[in-house]
Amino acid sequence: MSQQSTIVIAGHAAGFGDALQERFEIGGYHVASVSRHGDKRWATDLRDPLAVARLFDKLDHDAPPVAGVVHNAMQFHRQPFMQTTAQTLQEVWQSMVMTAFNVSQQAVTRLQRQGGGSLLFSGASGSLRAGPQFSAFSSAKFALRGLCQALVREHSHEGIHVAHVIVDGLIHSERTTQRFAQADVAHMIEPSDLAEQYWQLFHQPRSVWTHELDVRPMAADA
C-alpha cells in the first residue's frame, strides 16, 4: 500500500496510539489520528454523530480514501456499583459504544463504495469478564463486543473485515505506570508489539479472517 489510503485511529492516545500511527505510516498509509484534544486537523468529539459525520466529510476532501478504522476510544472507570451514578454509566458507554457506533456508520458507507476495508476495535479483559467495581466499564466493553459481532455478520460479505481485539493486560505507557504503580513493567504489553498485531489483522487474506483476537503478556509464573 502507499499514501493512497488513509487509516483512521479513532481515539488516539499517547503510547499505543503513537505506536499504531508509526506502524501504519511505516507501512505506507496516511494516518488520521483522531481525538478531542490532539491533532487540530482531525480533533473531534467522537460521541457526537454530527461531529463524526463532519470528520469523515473532511477526510473525503483532505485525505486519501479511508481503507479502515482502528477504534481505540476508551474511558477507564473503576467504582463500587452503589456509588456509580446513571450519568457516569452513560458517559462510560458513550465513550466506548457510541463512539464505535458513530465511527462505524460513517466508515462502513465508504468501505462499501470501495469494495471493502477493515474495522478493528480494541477490547479489554472486561470484554469477557466483569469484576467488582467494573459495572460501568465492563458493561460498555461487553456492548462493544456485541456491536462488533453484529457488524461481522452484517457486513463481512461486502469485504469489510471486522475484528475485536481483547487486550488482556496493561499496555506499557507513562500513564499506565503512574496509574498502576505496583504493576511489573516486565509483564506489560509493549505498544509496538500490539501495534504489529493490528497491522497483521489489517492485512489478513479474506480466506482466513480473524474476527476476535485475544492477546496477553506472558504470565509472571509461566
Q: What is the CATH number of the domain that holds 132?
A: 3.40.50.720
Is the residue at 221 inside a domain? no
Is the residue at 10 inside a domain? yes
Of the pLDDT bands very low, low, confident and very high (cuts 50, 70, 90), residue 200 is very high
| Spatial distance between the Cα atoms of 156 and 212, rounded to a whole number of angstroms | 14
Is the residue at 100 inside a domain? yes
Q: Does position 212 have pLDDT exceeding 60, yes or no?
A: yes
Range of the domain at 96: 6-215
Q: Are strands 160-167 and 212-215 parallel, antiparallel or unpaired?
A: parallel
- The number of distinct structural domains making up the chain is 1
- pLDDT score recorded for residue 13: 85
- pLDDT score recorded for residue 118: 98
Q: How much is the average pLDDT of 178-199?
A: 81
Is the residue at 104 inside a domain? yes
Is the residue at 128 inside a domain? yes
Which grid cell is 201?
A: 489483522
Is the residue at 222 inside a domain? no
Give the closest residue to 142 by CA, choosing from 163, 164, 162. Answer: 164
Q: How much is the average pLDDT of 110-137?
A: 96
What's the predicted TM-score (pTM) here? 0.92
Is the residue at 1 inside a domain? no
Q: Does position 164 have pLDDT exceeding 60, yes or no?
A: yes
Is the residue at 115 inside a domain? yes
118 Rama class: left (phi>0) / alpha (psi -120 to 50) / beta: beta
